[in-house]
Structure 1
């Protein structure tokens, strides 16, 4: 082993180009005001968010996982609405990426340019009333017919459901198939037999509308199958690797904003003649917030780097998703304690950050599921 002074240090710094990506998007995100409406999708498309990880030949930016994560982190750090960024991330990672990796050339050419430009919004139709992340137990079925499949079933909590023009969904094609039980599909909104419900009344991530989507003998042609019949599990897990890493970069940006907000408040606010910043419990809490942020960032960047390297990122993706989602909730709670009663006044924005953080430990696989995945990777 070479002497310590001769060992090469691991480089954790971002390249100049990556720093420019983050700074550019962070600055531009400050101009996005109203997070609702189709116009904001055009703004997101101008920043390259909906098609960040789509090849340039289809209208995307052709970025890898790490550079895509930097885009979402920068946009969140710059102040873009968390729900709006979540909507764009669900569109990209749960819908566009499966089309990139598993659709036919004809389907990619037909769908991806509009998905990247913001002209077409995609909805992630995976969750069911009685099934979350277990793709082998879906009640929605796809029955083989001449030229395609007939879909029957109900999907719940469909991200972008009310406004989507395209849905990536999963259905059981072989009830006894185990790992190969399900198949993935890209389904047009105007397909006969498809009905999107009204927006759900949510208290968090409100700029990302969600709804139920119902399929009743909904015909899907063969060229809209993603991958091969029975490959639904593979399609879903591949998309989840992107989603559980890159999507959660927006929560790094959210934590960065919260910490800055809390530091300013602690410096300015006085309690019993002292600045909050001079009170050890407040300083300790802020140190813990910074520790969680930077620990999660290292894990998330590592997960993205593993995806870009083409290796097996499973362990790092699960670690990153668990660390960042739990940190987002803990940091938002700590911010509410630092602000005290003011945290529950909407003008300070703390309560909104808390509401938007709490779902992070549930969607894309709960924290308990991530712990099971980590334990499996450890050989338990």
Structure 2
């Protein structure tokens, strides 16, 4: 599905463009989360899309939600805010709706879909990034509670989040030893560290999360004990599709801006786009954007239909993240010295794009997964 086939979701954030794009450079330099910009996202209804109406949701499909996030990427130049918004939808709300008890869904989903509470999921640890099978944070059963101890690292939205989904070990190393728990920010023993300084996506705050004898009721567990890896796999497929749909929108806007510059910027008596070297870079950008679009929506449709899409998701993540980096590099080169200036925003887009080959499982890990699925 392309954005053109879902215009009612694609354009829901467009009316709020002026608010979302206010002082983007200043916010990026400050490296702070722009709380006031969260409000127009709430008003747009973005956070409601993939959730059931009984919880304040709009009941839209996965690919319709992707189209809305693509539209956000096209509208908003604040890639950090865009990333935090995507994380808001997928980190807690998606697994809570699919695996949470009716009590948990009733208590928390309306607050997630309204954007009243910002959410985060805590997977990565100081010694374990993509190596999720060996997560060391533990949850030990003690009567009607679990006691959690350990630490998480590089957690998106953590400095501003009020609700966390914690991935912890309840059994032996391996796929069936992980479980997930919901925890509110003010839970005794849960400590959120100071925001970490980052190269890009600077308005999307990240930090450490420490758990020291955190007691959570059994009822805060999502799914059965040992279902954590199943839940993580379900979530990560959607995290890739949602966050990189945003990147597709950002790339589309970037391409439009480059074409406009190449047709109006004059050198040696003609538009620079008439120079074959420049034109070829723009052609490569268009190929990258359309290839990313095809992989995203074809894979999204497979996931939506319940088909096996493990290889497709890994390939999509690689294709889109590397297309984002390539198009950002080409944009800087085509804009020349202006692209190198911070005020034009082009250099910021390259800094933001760099993160895409790292988060949601590094591209090296994704290639390993593809090779393994091919029997290598």
What TM-score do the two structures reach when normalised by structure 1?
A: 0.93
* 1:273 partnered with 2:261: no
* 1:186 partnered with 2:186: no
| Structure 1 gaps, min length 5 | 1-11
> CA-atom RMSD, angstroms?
1.6
| Structure 2 gaps, min length 5 | 25-32
1: CA distance, partners of 2:232 / 2:101: 17
1:151 Cα shift?
0.8
> Cα deviation per residue 1:104-163 (whole Å; 9 max; x = unaligned)?
110011000001111101112111111112221112111111212111111111111111
Contact 2:13–2:41 (8 Å) recurs in 1: no
Query: For residue 37 of structure 2, what is the aligned residue in structure 1?
Result: 40
Distance 1:149 1:355, change over 3 A: same
Residues 348-357 or 200-209, more deviating? 200-209
**Structure 2 counterpart of 1:370, from 346, 351, 366:** 366
**Structure 1 counterpart of 2:7, from 19, 29, 36:** 19
Query: For residue 282 of structure 1, what is the aligned residue in structure 2?
Result: 278
Query: For residue 127 of structure 1, what is the aligned residue in structure 2?
Result: 124
* 1:360 partnered with 2:356: yes
Contact 1:167–1:186 (8 Å) recurs in 2: yes
Query: For residue 169 of structure 1, what is the aligned residue in structure 2?
Result: 166
Query: For residue 218 of structure 2, what is the aligned residue in structure 1?
Result: 222
Query: For residue 240 of structure 1, what is the aligned residue in structure 2?
Result: 236
* 1:105 partnered with 2:102: yes
In structure 1, the residue corresponding to 2:129 is in which secondary structure?
coil
Query: For residue 143 of structure 2, what is the aligned residue in structure 1?
Result: 146
Query: For residue 28 of structure 1, what is the aligned residue in structure 2?
Result: 16
2: CA distance, partners of 1:13 / 1:304: 11
In structure 2, the residue corresponding to 1:262 is in which secondary structure?
helix
Query: For residue 196 of structure 1, what is the aligned residue in structure 2?
Result: 192
In structure 2, the residue corresponding to 1:143 is in which secondary structure?
strand
Aligned residues: 367
Contact 1:135–1:182 (8 Å) recurs in 2: no
Distance 1:13 1:251, change over 3 A: closer
* 1:91 partnered with 2:88: yes
2: CA distance, partners of 1:297 / 1:227: 33
* 1:347 partnered with 2:343: yes
Query: For residue 117 of structure 1, what is the aligned residue in structure 2?
Result: 114
